[in-house]
Amino acid sequence: MAANRRKFEDELKDLEAVVVQIDSGELSLEESIAAFEKGVALVRSLNHKLDEVERKVEVLMRDSEGELKSRPLDPPPVPARPMPSADSDDDVI
């Protein structure tokens, strides 16, 4: 399977493993450099995949006139109204 066709999540796990290896301090200089090169390649591949997804999302968000419409992913939360306190003198009778 080509490295370009691997799942994003699989490549991210590989990158995390590379970081753990490098952070362990147990690699020789040559092994550390090889791990670093592998990590850089994974980062580039992951960034490329994220760019592709961003372009797909942009196409899906265009309106019928082809204009890009942005909207929040989730609606903002409605702020809670403060509860009147029992000892408040502001009660209207």
pLDDT in tens, 35-91: 999 999 999 999 999 998 888 887 777 777 777 776 655 555 666 666 566 555 555
User: DSSP letter at 68?
Assistant: B
Q: What is the mean pLDDT of residues 2-27?
A: 89
Q: pTM of the entire structure?
A: 0.61
Q: What is the pLDDT of residue 56?
A: 82
For the chain, what are the domain ranges? 8-60
Sheet strands (E) in the chain = none
